[in-house]
Amino acid sequence: MTLLQPPNILPKGMFVISRTLREHGKPYDRSRLKGLLQPSTLVLRRTGANTFDASFKALRDLGIARLEGDEVTLAADAPDVGDMSTFYRDLVKRVFAGVDESNAASTPQSDLLISLAWWCAQDPHGEPLGWENVQPLLFHDMGEAYQSFPIGNSNPWASFTRWALALGFAETQSIGDGTSGRVVPDATRAVKSAIQAATFLEVRADQLLTYLQEQLPVLDGGRLAQYWRPEWNLPPGRRAVVGAVDRVFSHALLRAEEDGVLALQTLSDAGKITLSDGERDRPVSHVRVLQEVM
């Protein structure tokens, strides 16, 4: 099983199971746990594909929960689930942990990872995206082969949007013009969370990029982005100038600055990276962390 199929693997459902196990504090009989969280009176999908079974399997695949006989427990390193945001930050770490070019296509989360690598190459300043306008983007980048891409039809696309929102790689955008339910590629929350886990307060801009590319390898320059993106015919205009950081990654850093989390500095006598501020380029040499990220 992958993380986008079946479509009823719910990040929120995974959180509820984890929180219940944490509050219980000891092994839980699997049938009793399922009966508590998904009563038999609920109308379910086919056997083995209902929300509890699918979400619990995903928890096991990601090393958060364990099943020994009929008893369910949390793994020793499972997050101390205080709130949904904390749980989702741990999910981000787990979906990327230990994944590189050698095993990227064979992990349970491979469908999510390759979809994120494509998603983070799109335009954060474009129109909000639903399946009807994602389909032509995929066709542009992959031709007819898009139909075998993990989000090449509407069901896994719906699953992907839930995951992208939960992990901080997308935001909903609706301004009362019929765009409700659509999303935009915005990795600001994921970037902020990675910065929160860092130990530095001031760093060269290129060092910050390297750190974030290691933590979030589907972003521009990250190991998974470099592994998959050369296969695609990505649209022009992703960078303000040749060699600049692409728009999704740049947008996240610029948003973090607007939110008062970072100060992006430009020292005249220092080496610089170039961010893509829309169609404008912005050189940056150093970064200061100004406040704790919430």
Predicted TM-score of the model (pTM) = 0.92
Contacts of 223 (CB under 8 A, 6+ apart): 100, 101, 213, 214, 217
Q: Which of 91, 191, 187, 181 is nearest to 134 (CA)?
A: 181
What's the chain's Rg over C-alpha atoms? Answer: 20
pLDDT computed for residue 48 by the predictor = 46
Write out pLDDT tens, residues 84-116: 999 999 999 999 999 998 999 899 999 999 999
pLDDT computed for residue 156 by the predictor = 94
pLDDT computed for residue 68 by the predictor = 95
Average pLDDT, the chain: 90
**How would you write the pLDDT of the chain (294 residues) with one tens digit per residue?**
589 988 889 999 999 999 999 999 899 999 999 999 988 776 555 544 588 999 999 999 999 999 999 999 999 999 887 789 999 999 999 999 999 989 998 999 999 999 999 999 999 998 899 999 999 999 999 999 999 999 999 999 999 999 999 999 999 975 554 445 799 999 999 999 999 888 888 999 999 999 999 999 999 999 999 999 999 999 877 887 888 999 999 999 999 999 999 999 998 888 899 999 888 899 999 999 986 644
Write out pLDDT tens, residues 198-240: 888 899 999 999 999 999 999 999 999 999 999 999 987 788 7
pLDDT computed for residue 42 by the predictor = 62
pLDDT computed for residue 240 by the predictor = 79
pLDDT computed for residue 49 by the predictor = 57
pLDDT computed for residue 179 by the predictor = 47
Count CB atoms within 10 A of the CB of residue 184.
Answer: 20
Domain range annotation of the chain: 11-82, 85-185, 188-289
Q: Cα separation of 229 and 118, whole Å?
A: 7
Q: Cα separation of 95 and 97, whole Å?
A: 6
Phi and psi at residue 269, to the nearest 5°: -100, 20
pLDDT computed for residue 276 by the predictor = 92
CATH of 11-82, one of 3.40.1130, 3.40.109, 3.30.70, 1.10.10: 1.10.10
Count CB atoms within 10 A of the CB of residue 229.
Answer: 20
97-100-106-111 Cα dihedral, nearest 10 degrees: 70
